[in-house]
Amino acid sequence: MIHARTILLLGGATIGLCVVAVPAAAQVRRFDIPAQAASTGIPMFAHQAGIQILAPGAITNGVTLNGLQGSMDVPTALRTLLSGTDLTPVAVGQAIILRRRDTNGGALKPRPLAFAQAAQPAAAPQEVVPSTTAPIAAGAGEGDEVVVTGIRASLQQSIATKRAAGNIADVISAQDIGKLPDQNVAESLSRITGVQISRREGEGSNFTVRGISQNRLEINGRTYLGPTANGTPALETLSPEILSSIVVSKTPSADMPEGALGATVNLKTKRPLELADLVVSGRVQGAYTDQADKAGLRTSALVSKNFDDRFGVLASLAYTKLDTLGYSYDSGGWTRTDNIDGNGDGVADPGLFRPNRIMARIYDRRENRLTANGTAQWRPTDTLEFIVDGTYSRLSRKRNDTNYQVLLNDNDVDARADANGTVVSGTFNGVTLRPLIYDEPTKLQTTNFGASGKYEAGRLRISVDGSYSKAKGTDGGPGASFVYVVVPRAGNITNASYNFVPGHLLPDLSLNTNFNRDDPAQYRLNSVFDSDNQSDNTGYDARIDGHYDLDFGPLKSVETGFRYEHLSLFGSYPQNTPGAAALLATGDKNGDGIIGLDELPGVQYDRITSKFYPGASANFPRQLLTGTANATAARDGLNLPTLDPYAAITVGVTSIANIKQETTAEYVKANFGGDLGTIRYSGNAGLRFLSTSRTSSGYLAVGTPTSATYKFNYVLPSANVKFDFTDDLSLRLAAAKVVARPNIGDVSVSFVPNTVSFTGSRGNPGLRPFEAKQYDASLEWYFAPASSLTAALFKKDVNSFTVNTVTQEFIPGFSETYGLFNISQPTNGENGTIKGFEVGYQQTLRFLPGILRNLGVQANYTYVDSRTPLIDPLTARRLPLPGLSKNNYNLIAFYEDGLISARVAYTFRDKYLIAVQSAASGGSLYQASTGQLDASAQINLTKSVRLIVEGVNLNKSVTNQYLQYPNRLFLTTREDRRLFFGVAATF
């Protein structure tokens, strides 16, 4: 239902549309420019107009511009400025290029001028896209090099967008994205100041901004719904080649959709009318992964065609086929025990911790990624524009996971514990050896459709936008999906000795068996574990926005709008875990009372691998029994049920999380600007009115449905102001109240049990959205072309962090068989704070002599600290925000001349908390600090064709996770070094 205030807010815009009949114009600005040389007057005009103008020194030399005084729209002002000269403006996207009139006395045909509105900050600032023949920025001297394309041009584009924004934002442009060896969008994001990513299977997966994971992700300013049970996008499915820019808005304005505690990230796809009349480009690269020792393919293509600068169509496609291999040591967690003698005195010592398992894992993957994008853009008149676009992404990843397991016990000999109670070495008799092979497929796909329209008439601008999203997926993930759980036959005994050596990636391990552990005939089936993560999500939204220029003293314009969003999220985690006894009738082919490995359908134990963690320092068995598994053939051969959450399986309907959420929002915003003496200021202030209704449905037990509905209403004020002390030095201040929804999985009513550990998790539909008051300040100095030095301070006062509590419960349908369960459930916690600072620096070193002037550097550093209500169950000390690394930095060096372009990038993030865990489980889980080195280079064979080589993870970075103390090793993983090489062309 639309509130009365919505009608009032939109009514003003409708009345304005009816009464205003002024010729089309862009935003009205106030100008104070004396008549002067073009070399100095053009930069002054560009600054006051809030646009970017590109012009080489050779064109502006000897040209005198007219003076400007007073308020007028930007196109009129530019025509007045250039009147009487032989310069003519040509719009390319949102950039203005100045050119001489042609030799016949006529002007080059200009595209209708459509300027970026610097004084009106939006959720997604417009990027500036120079032509492939674009000269350098206005005011450049005669001796300066003309920048055609490349790294310096893309840096200048990013700077222009950042300067034009009305809020604190960071940007990377299409050229910049294309120059980095990024496998997906998450990795492109990692180059931005304050953004940190986590990796899954060697690729960027999730991200935080200033240590915060509650961020809003958009595609072309719309909700980007993903194929996970939580509705978040799987960024590893989206190729960066289809994007024109990524804008990270760290402070909101009232017109921006709510939902970000850290930042709003807008992924902008390319638009045909922002490109040349005809663009055809493509890239074909071979790929090589060193651990898998396999070749692959990465390719992309784009075709864009404009018709009379009024109608354009664009289609782009990116495809990757890659085989990868990952090595991992995994402890399966740690257990507190009172039954181990840790000091050799013959008496068991209480409260020691030993690993649950010693596991060697080899992930063999075959991956296909497809991303497609299409856009149609129509400007029938200078006042009207329509856009229809769609994006499709799909990731298919097939895995066979060799998991060679040693299940430990408390039957110790010569065990030794350190001062923290960690059993770092010992011999354990009668352990269980399990050579397991998992079939772990992942299929994720997302489809987004959107349509928008914009109408400008005089001082009024009206825009409408709508979108529809569909995303679904199945994701077994590492350690899940299908596996035959096999154990040694009766009488086969294994004793294991281990030793955790500080600094080693995995422990020393020796196995003493009375049987040939590489012989498949020595094992039998114990049970089957069959599981999946399933999701099926739908979303749609619509919004209307009105903007009216006033130029009433410091009040320049007002905006108002309304937005509606509906989300329907379905997630489940079905599991089927039959024991061998239940499968004897089908699986025992020879009637000996057990199911041998040769009787198992869909699995082949036919290979002995000797490649596990090559080069890692440890006396660890490298020869492992392995093979291949096929879940479909196994299910068919044993007549196992499908993993339908409604089927009669071990865990079905209780895992269902069905969330429906409706949100309406209205806003009003005022844009202002003026002068305080010699200081020019601009900014915005407004209110956003938000109402959310959320219904969570599921099952307490089989046949016992339940649901809960909660409603939340908020008034969210925000303000941004910018002070320009000079043309190159600016101070931004911002304050706002923001809200972000909790993870959808956390607000479900579903219950997911673990019938092995007798634990489980349940959501809490009563969780409130995260609320925060945030304060930001940013100082920006643009001291040279494509160069800047920026610093920012930020603080967020967060209301109600989410904390997890554990209670012991009787679960109907499970506890009758398994007993009581320890159930973890999120609850509304206390307040906390997040604060820190950022520093960013980039410079093209044009002042250096000779070829050194082709060098450039980029560097940024972020420090984040937090105070939360989270208490460590083991130490009773206060914990930081999960996912927050205190110290983070990026270092990038590049070289570019007319022939060669090269860049080396190193990304580092400090250790961070992954999850709060119980004291009995060994303490909370942390990830150690890590850094990754990537590089790219190209050789320009012609103006249109270039050779490309790229390297990812050149330093073979290792993921290291531990419980409470570094020597309580939980997991180490090492992924491939990935190389890409090929050719790219643009015509």
For helices 631-638 and 580-587, angle between their N-to-C axes, nearest 10 degrees: 80
The per-residue pLDDT for range 397-444, each reduced to its tens digit, is 999 899 999 999 999 999 999 999 999 999 999 999 999 999 999 999
For helices 74-82 and 38-49, angle between their N-to-C axes, nearest 10 degrees: 170
| 895 HSE (CA, 13 A, CB side) | 12
Q: Compute the distance between CA of residue 382 and CA of residue 645 in angstroms, rounded to an integer.
A: 54
pLDDT of residue 182: 67
pLDDT of residue 157: 78
Beta strands in 813-854 (DSSP E): 821-828, 832-844
Q: Which of 401, 207, 242, 247 is nearest to 320 (CA)?
A: 242
Q: Token digits for 309?
A: 């600068």
Burial 86-110 (b: 16+ CB within 10 A, else e): ebbbbbbbbbbbbbeeeeeeeeeee
Q: What 3-state DSSP class applies to 737?
A: strand
Q: Contact 498/425 with Cβ under 8 angstroms?
A: yes
The per-residue pLDDT for range 352-371, each reduced to its tens digit, is 999 999 999 999 999 999 99
Q: Compute the distance between CA of residue 558 and CA of residue 544 in angstroms, rounded to an integer.
A: 14
Q: Token digits for 162?
A: 């950042």
In this structure, are strands 216-219 and 264-269 parallel, antiparallel, or unpaired?
parallel
Q: Token digits for 183?
A: 């496998």
Q: Which residue has the tokens 């209704």?
A: 693
Q: Which residue has the tokens 């790929």?
A: 287
Which parts of the chain sit beneath pLDDT 70?
1-28, 55-58, 70, 91-95, 101-149, 174-184, 477-480, 756-757
DSSP 740-776: EPPPGGGG---EEEETTTTEEEE--TTPPPEEEEEEE
- Bridge partners of 353, per DSSP, are 336, 422
Q: Which of 894, 733, 753 is nearest to 811 (CA)?
A: 753
Q: What 3-state DSSP class applies to 157?
A: helix
pLDDT of residue 678: 92
DSSP class of residue 644 equals: -
Q: Compute the distance between CA of residue 547 and CA of residue 21 in angstroms, rounded to an integer.
A: 15
pLDDT of residue 121: 31
* Maximum Cα interatomic distance, the chain, rounded to a whole number of Å: 102
Q: Compute the distance between CA of residue 412 and CA of residue 406 in angstroms, rounded to an integer.
A: 14
* The overall pTM is greater than 0.95: no
pLDDT of residue 60: 72
pLDDT of residue 872: 87
Q: Which of 687, 778, 780 is nearest to 253 (CA)?
A: 687
Q: Which residue has the tokens 């619509």?
A: 542
- Bridge partners of 609, per DSSP, are 624
Amino acid at position 529, single letter: F
Q: Contact 66/81 with Cβ under 8 angstroms?
A: yes
The per-residue pLDDT for range 371-399, each reduced to its tens digit, is 999 999 999 998 999 999 999 999 999 99
Q: Token digits for 265?
A: 């990230």
Ramachandran bin of 591, using left for φ above 0, alpha for ψ from -120 to 50, beta for the remaining angles: left
Burial 596-634 (b: 16+ CB within 10 A, else e): bbebbebbebeeebeebbeebebebbeebbbbebbbeeb
pLDDT of residue 56: 60
Q: Which of 365, 326, 294 is nearest to 505 (CA)?
A: 326
